[in-house]
Amino acid sequence: MSYSSLWSHAVNAAEQLARHVIETRFEDLPSDAVEKTKIFILDSFGVGVSGSAAVHAASLLRAVQDWGSGDDATVLGLDTRLPAASAAFLNCVQIHNQEFDCVHEGAVLHPMTTALAAGLAAAEQMGGVTGRDLLTAMALAIDVTAGLGIASRSKMKFFRPASAGIFGATAAVAKLRGFTQAQLIDAWGLALAQAAGTMQPHDEGLATLAVQIGFAARGAIVACDFAAAGIPGPRGVIDGEFGYLNLYETAHDIEPVLADLGRVWRITQVSHKPYPTGRAAHAGISGLLALMSAHRFGEDEVERVTLLVPPLIHRLVGRPIERDMPVSYARLCFQYSGAVALQRGFVDIPDFYESALRDPARHALAARIRVEIDGNPNPNAMSPQRIEVRLKNGATRALDIPATLGAPDNPLPRDAHLAKFRRCWSYGARPLDGQAGERAIALVDRLEELDNSNDLTALAVPEP
């Protein structure tokens, strides 16, 4: 294929995606897409509040405040306002820094994280948008980010929630700001100039992972600012010779994604995270808890736990526990989160406080847990999985897990969804009014009736 034909095809791909974003109205969204968008807006909003208290959050805030002053937008959970790009950066970091943000398993990324952080900042900068406009922008952003992930046929080298996430976030901001199709393609081209993030921080278990996604949300605001000012972006942004797919994904096929635009809404494929760990650990955690409940055994009765997983899961959470591991490493270590599940019968944010990470009994229990590859040939598969528990009395208990709790085929019940939100609301760096949290739930339940999105954002600000 010649360069010219590649470029022509790339323009076609970008044009189809841009047309979908710009021309779709709220009335075009099916009811299940609207409901799922509400669920994951509320979920991400609450997680962003709790992230204000996470490791490194205060240090990042101080550093970002030195970038420049302004009061465009709110930092979730704090009484701090910053320029839109700075607020988008921090809120995006806060939504991801506890590994508690929703995920699209097929795309292997967190599509709402960059979209909501950038979208809320842009909306505040504009004086607020209607709930309908916010819902529409978020649903379309997820189509873009998840679509790029689904188009991949290769394992990740770049950190896809950041490298693909900037394009969905840019789509959200462009939609809210009323861009034309040409302006959105310009903005995507300018986003490509900033797209970054690799798997190295993930392999090392570092907080840099969340910072990479923060850069994507900030980059979306910057890209749209430049496009609005008339700065052109390359037209071959999606699959030109040096476009996103050809540079960031070794093998890819965007055509099925383009064919599904307007028919398949990717937000309906997004999974909840019931535990603040890498999603790859969730099937094992839920499986352990299910076996403990069904067979009535406790941690002292366990001789060995074996989690059989696809290669991607082993790569993401099969790392060995370490005595002095940082919190970001622990969130991506099934030996640790599995030991927490055995000990406590649940896994929550306080289990990743510094004191909890050093518990000798927990480390001893983790030594009985192993993660093994099951031979699945799909480099992006996250399921099925199987967990086996050998008890000290010689009995073996096992469970096959075709769909992880929180997945579309095994959704998190509403009461558990709201319980997670309320816990996150209470875990922020500053105390928030519990009744404000209840008002946030009520507002999002009726988000299509909301006149101004700032009414929601204002609830995440502590009282003086």
pLDDT of amino acid 223: 99
Within a domain: residue 411?
no
Residue numbers of the domain that contains 309? 279-401
User: What CATH code is carried by the domain that includes residue 37?
Assistant: 1.10.4100.10
Q: Look at the chain and report how many structural domains it folds into.
A: 2
Within a domain: residue 182?
yes
Within a domain: residue 421?
no
CA terminus-to-terminus distance, the chain: 62
Residues 368 and 309 in one domain: yes
Residues 258 and 342 in one domain: no
Within a domain: residue 87?
yes
- CA distance linking residue 356 with residue 371, whole number of Å: 22
Q: What is the pTM of this model?
A: 0.96
Residues 201 and 287 in one domain: no
Residues 26-50, buried b or exposed e (16+ Cβ, 10 A)? beebeeebbebbbbbbbbbbbbbbb
Residues 169 and 313 in one domain: no
Residues 221 and 342 in one domain: no
pLDDT of amino acid 122: 99
Tokens of 247: 């540079």
Residues 248 and 149 in one domain: yes
pLDDT of amino acid 33: 99
Tokens of 7: 């470029």
pLDDT of amino acid 464: 85
Q: Which of 287, 273, 309, 307 is nearest to 381 (CA)?
A: 309
- CA distance linking residue 434 with residue 375, whole number of Å: 47
DSSP H/E element including 369: strand 369-373
User: What CATH code is carried by the domain that includes residue 323?
Assistant: 3.30.1330.120
pLDDT of amino acid 7: 46
| Residue 162 CA: distances (Å) to CA of 51, 77, 146, 219, 307 | 18, 23, 12, 10, 29
Within a domain: residue 51?
yes
Within a domain: residue 102?
yes
pLDDT of amino acid 46: 99
Other Cβ atoms less than 10 A from the Cβ of 463: the count is 9
Consecutive 10-residue averages of pLDDT for the chain (464 residues)? 42 90 99 99 99 98 97 98 99 99 97 99 99 99 99 95 99 99 98 98 96 99 99 95 95 97 99 98 98 97 98 96 96 98 98 94 98 93 96 98 95 98 98 98 99 99 92
- CA distance linking residue 277 with residue 258, whole number of Å: 32
CA angle (185, 188, 193) in 5-degree steps? 135
pLDDT of amino acid 4: 41
Residues 136 and 250 in one domain: yes
